[in-house]
Amino acid sequence: MIEVDSAVLVLGGTEAAVYAYGLVAARVTGAERSRALSAMSWHRAQRDALRARISALGTTPPAAAAAYTPPVPVTDAASARALAALVEDRLAGQWAALAASSAVARRTQDALTTQSCAVRCVTWSGTAPVWNGAV
């Protein structure tokens, strides 16, 4: 996959993450709510950077969806945590694919962003997912 295609894929996932964290923040309290709002803000910054990157690569970034259907019902704090973990796990994989297709100058930052998503996944779920190819 070429860099711009990977970046568009990550942009879609990142926009969905911003939406998902709104759902998460509505169902958790205290420190978890602060963590959810912080993650939402972080993903917004990533979204804005991705939009600029896609434009710099010569493509018009696609518009975000008006709304997203979460892959799991979010009815309480436990399901909100599960959604946050799932979103971060999926984004970690998307960012890893982007790192693999990125220009050398961007590869390290994309890999570090992958790591940030993976750490948030573990923070929300309490367990580390096993990616394909992992030992």
Q: Name the residue among 74, 67, 94 with its Cα closest to residue 7.
A: 94
Coil, helix or strand for 72? coil
- Helix 104-125 vs helix 30-56: crossing angle, to nearest 10: 160
**Domain residue ranges of the chain, discontinuous segments joined by +:** 3-125
pLDDT in tens, 67-111: 999 998 999 999 999 999 999 999 999 999 999 999 999 999 999
CATH 1.20.1260.10 corresponds to the domain 3-125: yes
pLDDT surpassing 70 at residue 134: no
The model's pLDDT over 49-63, given as tens digits with 9 standing for 90+, comes to 999 999 999 999 999
pLDDT in tens, 5-31: 999 999 999 999 999 999 999 999 999
Is the confidence at residue 41, as pLDDT, over 70?
Answer: yes
Give the chain's length.
135
Q: Which two tokens stand for residue 59?
A: 């493509």
